[in-house]
Amino acid sequence: MSMDVHITLTDSDLARFVEAMKARKTPPDAGDMTTTVAEVRKVLNETKLSELPEFIATRLKSVETMLAMLEDKGFGLPEENRANVLTALSYFVTADDEIPDSLPIIGFLDDAIIIELCTRDLAPEIEAYNEFHQWRETEARRRGEDASKLALTRVEWAEACRMQILERMHRQRRDSYSDRSRAPMLFRVH
């Protein structure tokens, strides 16, 4: 038998979670990032052995994306976003947070809420990372290379996107010339 439980968190409720996250641990410096990432991977591996509520399990999948964004040198996550991700991940690995992780079923509820807040704040970056990752995979296949060894950067991806947009504009213009009713008026020669 399943049961739906709905919880509405107000802005002030969410603000309390954010304050709790900030109070727990300051964002790690670059040297400490490796330790935080290792701790996060350890906790993720431990949670794979547990049956977690879907709300929590879904949010934990977002942690994998955040880790990938952090570690991907080609993507070059901006420093402010890197600090936000590291702060959220630091909270995630703190065992004695607002709801102790050792509590069955709900132990990771506060962590899931923090991760959800972080992914909402970083939604454009996460979307961009997913597009960058897909582009790099496609480019590696096109070149016949291993994507993990292909050193493509965010700047190269942005340039490739710019070129695609320009090509689409030129193609649309060429296609529009084939329809005489839409022939250019300004550049028509008599």
Q: Give the count of domains, the chain.
A: 1
- The answer to whether 145 and 170 are in contact (CB under 8 A) is no
- The predicted structure's pLDDT at residue 184: 61
- The predicted structure's pLDDT at residue 125: 92
In angstroms and rounded to an integer, the radius of gyration of the C-alpha atoms of the chain is 23
- The predicted structure's pLDDT at residue 52: 80
**Domain for residue 50, yes or no?**
yes
**Domain for residue 139, yes or no?**
no
**Domain for residue 181, yes or no?**
no
- Tell me how far apart the alpha carbons of residues 17 and 111 are, in angstroms, rounded to a whole number: 9
Residues with Cβ within 8 Å of 44's Cβ and at least 6 positions away in sequence, in order, are 60, 63, 64
Q: Structure pTM? A: 0.75
**Domain for residue 76, yes or no?**
yes
Residue range(s) defining the domain that contains residue 116: 11-130
**Domain for residue 112, yes or no?**
yes
**Domain for residue 71, yes or no?**
yes
List, run by run, the mean pLDDT of 10-residue segments along the chain (190 residues).
77 84 63 84 85 84 92 90 87 79 80 89 93 91 84 89 91 74 60
- Other C-beta atoms lying within 10 Å of the C-beta of residue 163: 10
- The predicted structure's pLDDT at residue 176: 74
At 189, give phi and psi (nearest 5°). Answer: -105, 130
From 90, 149, 146, select the one nearest 118 (Cα to Cα). Answer: 90
- The predicted structure's pLDDT at residue 135: 92
From 99, 63, 77, 79, select the one nearest 28 (Cα to Cα). Answer: 79
- The predicted structure's pLDDT at residue 14: 85
Instruction: Give the helix ranges, DSSP H, for 49-153.
Output: 54-71, 79-93, 109-121, 123-143
- The predicted structure's pLDDT at residue 159: 92
